[in-house]
Amino acid sequence: MSRKQKQNNMREYNTYVFENEIDWQQVPEEKLPFFLWDTAAEYDVYFKMCFLKGEGIALRMRCNETELRYEGVVRDDSVWEDSCMEMFLCPFEHRSEYVNFEINCKGVYLSQYGKTRADRKFIKELTALAPDVKTNITDDGWSLELFVPCRLIEALYGEKFTADKCTLKGNFTKCGDLTKYPHYGSFCQLSTLDFGFHNPELFAIININER
């Protein structure tokens, strides 16, 4: 697939930057449309993401998965093998490095930074700053909340990040390699399993607009 074809196939997500407080009722919600590779079950998975100006990046995700696996118990365990939802993000248009936050249903998370799948480093090796993660399990499924502070992005990239109106790239995913029904859900249509979700050239365009 050529670079032009890849750009033409890119999805878009339009959302907002809020000042002082996020009104989650106003944040657009999208459903993951693609289940890829050797998926054994397709779930209803939704996400909504926005900026809190000058503070950071906020994400909410929810799904109807009820037969849960949660073997990961400490930070950076192999949570993609569990019931897991994820965000991949390139916060600067002019940079190729991206961050990934992968969170299991118990709130145990893996976080990494780098340009490709092969050269990733755990964020805890680069900075003591950390995201805020919360999860909730119900009879109907589970959900998560993630907040990534501006200071964390700045520590990784060495650049000022104000969480203001901009355009960036990213993807939102759902997986569970060793769950009862392995699955690989994605907001973006990806290609080979060799890269898995680590395919930044096919990340969606995310437009952060003023409210």
In tens, the pLDDT along 9-34 reads 689 999 999 999 999 999 999 999 99
> What's the DSSP call for residue 85?
E
How many angstroms separate the CA atoms of 143 and 149, rounded? 20
Closest CA to 202 of 2, 37, 46, 9: 9
- Token code pair at residue 106: 């118990």
Residue 48, pLDDT > 50, answer yes
Residue 181, pLDDT > 60, answer yes
Q: What is the pTM of this model?
A: 0.93
pLDDT of 9 reads 63
How many angstroms separate the CA atoms of 179 and 182, rounded? 5
Q: How confident is the model at residue 185 (pLDDT cuts 50, 70, 90)?
A: very high
pLDDT of 4 reads 39
Which range among 22-31, 35-44, 71-80, 104-113 shows the weakest confidence by mean pLDDT?
A: 35-44
pLDDT (mean) for 67-78 = 98
